[in-house]
Every structure is written in structure tokens, then in C-alpha cells.
């Protein structure tokens, strides 16, 4: 049962499992007046580099154990990769998102065998419950909006409520 919740190639939660846990955490945080944050990441790739997106996801999933706490949840979303940061306020979520962004800049990727590795950057949108919304759909929508703002600013950045 637990294995079916994970993507075997990345070790990340499957999209449905991640969305279900986001919905549950929203309900739990509402009930207990708790807080959490959601970060949405997407590689800043140019046309013709789409083959790198899966490679970035796999490499980043391997780095997550170094970058996040064991209680944080990671999974794919339609607009990118989501990280659910339990018991994490807005300021700490931005620090974590910046740490993940900086870690990706140090990774090297190869689109095809050859001597020159490719450096990839990522953009991120960060939201917090209840500050930025009180439903999972509102939080996802705002995180996507902030992610798009980061990409429109040239990428390699983290955008959150205070930036708009």
C-alpha cells in the first residue's frame, strides 16, 4: 500500500497522494489552528530542454534528504514539484525554498552525452496556511501565481506574498 503512494523512479509521492495529504493537512491545521507552508518549484528550462525536467526532478529528489526534514512531504504537481512543510511559518518556508533553489544551481545535468554539463535554475512560489489561504485549492492557486511571477522575472528566484 505505502509503496503504491511513491513514484519508483524518484521516491517522491505520487501526485494524487500529495494532493490528498495537502487536503488533509489543510483540514488538520484548520481544526487545530496550526500552520504550514507549501512551496511549488519548476525548472527554468528553455525550448528544447524539456528532456532535462525529469532529470532535474530525479536529481532534486535525491538531494531532498539533505535539504528537508523527514516530516516534509514532496511530490509532483501539475505546475511543478510541491513541498509541503509541516509546522513551518512563512519566513522559514522562504528560507527553505531559497536553500533548495541554491542547491539546484550547484547540480550539473547532461541533456545528451558530451563534455559540457548544463547548469539549471529553478523558480519557486511559496505560500503559507492560513496567511495566504485556508483551502488547498486557494493555496495551490496562489503558489502557481507566485511561481509564474518568479519565472516572468527571469527565473532563479523565490516569490511569496511579500514580493507582490
- What is the reported pTM? 0.90
Higher per-residue pLDDT: 124 or 7: 124
Q: Report the alpha-carbon distance of residue 3 to residue 13 in Å, rounded.
A: 9
Q: Report the alpha-carbon distance of residue 153 to residue 56 in Å, rounded.
A: 21
Residue 1 clears pLDDT 60, i.e. is over it: no
What total of structural domains would you count in the chain? 1
Residue 4 clears pLDDT 50, i.e. is over it: yes
Residue 62 clears pLDDT 70, i.e. is over it: yes
Domain residues for the domain of 61 are 3-163
- What is the domain-level CATH number for residue 149? 3.30.70.270
Express each pLDDT in 130-151 by its tens digit.
999 999 999 999 999 999 999 9
Q: pLDDT value at position 10?
A: 76
* Residue 73 neighbours by CB distance under 10 Å: 19
pLDDT band at 113 (very low <50, low <70, confident <90, very high): low
Q: pLDDT value at position 112?
A: 65
Express each pLDDT in 75-101 by its tens digit.
988 888 999 999 999 999 999 999 999
Q: pLDDT value at position 58?
A: 76
Upstream peptide bond of 27 is cis (omega within 30 degrees of 0): no
Amino acid at each position: 500500500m505505502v509503496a503504491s503512494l511513491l513514484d519508483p523512479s524518484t521516491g517522491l509521492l505520487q501526485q494524487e497522494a500529495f494532493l490528498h495529504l495537502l487536503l488533509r493537512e489543510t483540514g488538520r491545521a484548520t481544526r487545530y489552528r496550526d500552520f504550514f507552508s507549501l512551496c511549488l518549484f519548476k525548472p527554468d528550462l528553455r525550448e528544447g530542454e524539456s528532456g532535462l525536467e525529469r532529470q532535474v526532478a530525479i536529481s532534486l529528489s535525491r538531494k531532498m534528504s539533505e535539504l528537508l526534514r523527514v516530516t516534509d512531504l514532496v511530490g509532483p504537481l501539475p505546475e511543478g514539484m510541491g513541498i509541503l512543510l509541516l509546522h513551518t511559518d512563512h519566513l522559514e518556508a522562504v528560507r527553505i525554498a531559497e536553500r533548495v533553489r541554491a542547491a539546484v544551481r550547484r547540480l550539473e545535468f547532461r541533456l545528451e552525452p558530451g563534455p559540457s554539463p548544463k547548469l539549471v535554475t529553478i523558480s519557486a512560489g511559496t505560500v503559507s496556511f492560513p496567511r495566504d489561504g485556508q483551502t488547498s485549492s486557494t493555496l495551490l492557486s496562489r503558489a502557481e501565481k507566485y511561481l509564474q511571477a518568479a519565472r516572468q522575472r527571469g527565473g532563479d528566484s523565490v516569490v511569496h506574498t511579500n514580493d507582490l
